[in-house]
Amino acid sequence: MAKDVKAGEGELRARHVAIIMDGNGRWAKKRLLPRAVGHQRGVEAVRRVVRGARELGLEALTLYAFSTENWRRPEDEISDLMSLMKRFILSDLDEFAAAGVRLKIIGDYKAFKPELVELVEGAMAKTAHNTGTTLAVALNYGSQDEIARAATRAAAKGPITPETIAAELDTADLPPLDLLIRTSGEVRLSNFLLWQAAYAEMLFTDVLWPDFTADHLRDALSAFTTRERRYGGR
Ligand code: IPE
Ligand code: IPE
Ligand code: MG
């Protein structure tokens, strides 16, 4: 399957794709279902897309799962999201581990309940030596918070430059961000990867996250191959 999107000579091939997985609530609302069902279906989309990313040979897939601003949501929704994350790790970790996926968390995940922190750290440790696709899940992630943390660490070591800050970002060990996708028709970044997106290509789609499939990812990667990236040059 990886062959389908293999870029021809001179075409771009994305190494690192990030997705703002948005629209679970609207997906449920359209069907008169509780938001929690939208989030459950969102997890199924995550599963499909992670498999797709592996099959397509992506080096890194970064998924925005919970933002620093999502704490503003009602407590019951936050707790639904936390239990879905727990269940997802428990049910899918073995498959990831066997498939060579390395799980990484970006964001200040230690703010979560100790039980979830422990689970997440166990999952990272179990897959730390995998060399296939890196799945970076953004938990309690806010780009401004990430940059502030990175700048603090950089300042403690020496002069602050774009390079020294970049080296301290949560994503420092990932390839440069090639393509940022947002589902659900919203056209904003909502505090996601602001630094990393400096020269990323953007793709906004009206598809709601629970409807997103591996084919949508494949199409996005195909579209990416034809983009012309100039990085300010000519
Ligand atoms: C995205 O879906 C999931 C998270 C932000 C955790 P939303 O819950 O934001 O769905 P909409 O935007 O209300 O449709
Ligand atoms: C962004 O979606 C956060 C995640 C997808 C985790 P939101 O639904 O929280 O973003 P806004 O509030 O519409 O900007
Ligand atoms: Mg939303």
Distance between Cα 98 and ligand 2 center (Å)? 31
Instruction: Ligand 1: list residues with CB < 6 Å.
Output: 21-26, 66, 70, 81, 184, 209
HEC assignment per residue over 48-117: HHHHHHHHCCCCEEEEECCECCHHHCCHHHHHHHHHHHHHHHHHHHHHHHHHCCEEEEECCHHHCCHHHH
Distance between Cα 75 and ligand 3 center (Å)? 16
pLDDT per residue as tens, the chain (234 positions): 344 455 556 678 999 999 999 999 999 999 999 999 999 999 999 999 999 999 999 999 999 999 999 999 999 999 999 999 999 999 999 999 999 999 999 999 999 999 999 999 999 999 999 999 999 999 999 999 999 999 999 999 999 999 999 999 999 999 999 999 999 999 999 999 999 999 999 999 999 999 999 999 999 999 999 999 999 998
Q: Is-catalytic flag, 92?
A: no
Taking the CA of 42 as reference, the closest ligand is 1
State which of 19, 20, 22 you would mutate to test the pocket of ligand 1, scoring each by most atoms of that ligand within 8 A of its C-beta: 22
CA atoms lying within 13 Å on the CB side of residue 117: 9
Instruction: Kindly report, residue by residue over 175-213, the tens digit of the pLDDT.
Output: 999 999 999 999 999 999 999 999 999 999 999 999 999
Ligand 2 atom 12 nearest Cα: 190
DSSP letter at 141?
B
Domain 22-224: give its CATH architecture.
3-Layer(aba) Sandwich (3.40)
pLDDT, position 3: 42
Q: Is-catalytic flag, 22?
A: yes
User: What average pLDDT does the structure give for the chain?
Assistant: 95
Instruction: Ligand 2: list residues with CB < 6 Å.
Output: 20-22, 64-67, 70, 186, 188, 190
